[in-house]
């Protein structure tokens, strides 16, 4: 039987997971199975299999969309890096945070704990490393197997099967060309000096500017005037809309998506913003968020609205952007025509129970730890 069901518009249902923190249910119905710490998910190009990056058990799990059954697909459950050039089910994964499919249904795993990107062949099921040395720390661009990644948290793919990697703790977006095997940086320019500037300071003599939540801190020993958020974050690092992406600062990138034009949507959790990288011009802009944590309502321009620890964003074929606004316990939508943000799921309360099955606006979500 098929598990596809016709839902009314605006209705939410549980597809997989029983809410338990233990990985269970191999070969059983997905909705009755334990899925600890699921991160990103993807569907293959045929719509046959649904893949889950189950970081709590260091596995990739797969739901058969025809039967609704869940199976272990990759990873043994042991937290380690092992198994290259062997069956993916016998390989060790180390904190897999993302999974996706290319046009040939090959699977890519963001094996974050091992600082690698790994590929699973669609026909043979053999797993190999395609990006990363396993070492920590940015060491430049070049052949992908000679370049370090630093806790990569997300990956995306375009219509040419090129990969984009959130090199999170290197504060960069990297591009992997499968034809050449080369990796290049396309966004981010973090330096050691920036590390010294990200620690929040206690703002003194703060002036709040009308219309947004930015003040000016006059307490800098260097005599510089630096704009700051209410929590002390030095905004001079991030006021870079319209600049080349290679001149922009990225703080804590946790998700990437690619639209039909090849532009990237970047979730920068650390600055509470969704950014857009225009691949034609190479420039960066903000789609949603103002660098402050919080919720200040809907129905206003997204670029003037607050987000609270966004964990992801996806863009649909019409250019609308959907945001996992995790600590606001909501899913929010940015309209591609108006730029206005609204809540489409979640009521702002944390939690889950069966009584929430129904209207999305009444649903409750629990933020990821």
pTM of the model: 0.86
Q: Does the pLDDT value for residue 4 go beyond 70?
A: no
Closest CA to 117 of 312, 299, 318, 256: 256
In the chain, the domains with their CATH numbers are: 1-187 (2.120.10.30)
- Give the model's pLDDT for residue 7: 54
> What are the tens digits of pLDDT across the range 217-270?
434 444 444 444 444 455 555 578 899 999 999 999 999 999 999 999 999 998
Average pLDDT over residues 12-20: 82
Strand-strand pairing, 96-101 and 172-177:
unpaired
Task: Reduce the secondary structure of 97-163 to three states and give it as a string.
Answer: EEEEECCCCCEEEEEHHHCEEEEECCCCCEEEEEECCCCCCCCCCEEHHHCCCCCCCEEEECCCCCE
Stretch (H or E) spanning 325: strand 321-325
- Give the model's pLDDT for residue 227: 47
What is the band of 2 on the pLDDT scale with cuts at 50, 70, 90? Answer: very low
Closest CA to 62 of 122, 116, 132, 118: 122
- Give the model's pLDDT for residue 328: 95
- Give the model's pLDDT for residue 195: 58
Q: Any bridge partners for residue 334, and if so which?
A: 321, 341
- Give the model's pLDDT for residue 65: 93
Task: Write down the mean pLDDT value for the chain.
Answer: 85
Average pLDDT over residues 141-149: 98
CA 262 – CA 273 distance, rounded (Å): 20
- Measure the N-to-C terminal CA separation of the chain; round to a whole number of Å: 36
> What are the tens digits of pLDDT across the range 42-83?
999 999 999 999 999 999 999 999 999 999 999 999 999 999
Q: How far is CA 76 from the centre of its chain?
A: 24
Phi, psi of 74 (to 5 degrees): -140, 145
Contact at 8 Å (CB) between 41 and 59?
A: no
How big is the chain by its Cα radius of gyration, in Å? 21
Average pLDDT over residues 82-87: 98
Half-sphere exposure of 96 toward its Cβ, with a 13 Å CA cutoff? 33
Within the chain, residue ranges assigned H as helices are 192-195
> What are the tens digits of pLDDT across the range 174-216?
999 999 999 999 999 876 555 555 544 333 333 343 334 444 4
Half-sphere exposure of 21 toward its Cβ, with a 13 Å CA cutoff? 2
Interior angle at CA 223, CA 222 and CA 225, nearest 5: 115
Q: What is the torsional sign of CA 201, 202, 205, 208?
A: positive
Which distant-in-sequence residues (6+ apart) come within 8 Å of 260 by Cβ? 159, 317
């Amino acid at each position: 039987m098929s598990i596809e069901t016709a839902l009314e518009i605006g209705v939410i249902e549980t597809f997989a997971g029983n809410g338990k923190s233990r990985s269970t249910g191999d070969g059983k119905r997905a909705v009755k199975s334990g899925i600890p710490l699921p991160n990103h998910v993807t569907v293959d190009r045929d719509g046959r299999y649904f893949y889950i990056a189950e970081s709590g058990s260091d596995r990739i799990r797969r739901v058969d969309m025809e039967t609704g059954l869940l199976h272990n697909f990759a990873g043994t459950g042991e937290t380690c890096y092992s198994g290259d050039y062997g069956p993916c089910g016998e390989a060790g994964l180390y904190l897999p945070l993302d999974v996706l499919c290319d046009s040939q249904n090959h699977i890519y795993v963001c094996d974050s704990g091992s600082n690698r990107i790994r590929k699973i062949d669609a026909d043979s099921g053999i797993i190999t490393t395609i990006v990363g040395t396993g070492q920590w720390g940015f060491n430049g661009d070049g052949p992908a197997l000679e370049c370090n990644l630093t806790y990569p948290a997300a990956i995306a793919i375009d219509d040419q099967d090129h990969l984009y990697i959130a090199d999170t703790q290197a504060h960069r977006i990297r591009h992997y060309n499968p034809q050449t095997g080369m990796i290049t940086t396309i966004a981010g320019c973090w330096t050691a000096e920036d590390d010294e500037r990200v620690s929040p300071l206690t703002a003194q003599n703060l002036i709040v500017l009308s219309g947004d939540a930015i003040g000016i801190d006059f307490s800098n020993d260097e005599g510089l005037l630096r704009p700051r958020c209410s929590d002390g974050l030095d905004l001079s690092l991030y006021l870079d809309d319209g600049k080349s992406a290679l001149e922009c600062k990225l703080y804590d990138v946790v998700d990437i998506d690619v639209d039909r034009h090849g532009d990237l949507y970047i979730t920068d959790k650390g600055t509470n913003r969704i950014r857009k990288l225009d691949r034609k011009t190479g420039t960066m802009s903000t789609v949603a968020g103002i660098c402050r944590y919080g919720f200040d309502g809907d129905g206003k321009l997204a670029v003037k609205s607050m987000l609270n620890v966004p964990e992801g964003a996806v863009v649909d074929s019409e250019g609308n952007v959907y945001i996992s606004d995790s600590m606001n316990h909501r899913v929010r939508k940015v309209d591609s025509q108006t730029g206005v943000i609204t809540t489409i799921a979640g009521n702002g309360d944390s939690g889950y129970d069966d009584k929430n099955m129904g209207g999305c606006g009444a649903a409750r979500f629990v933020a990821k730890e």
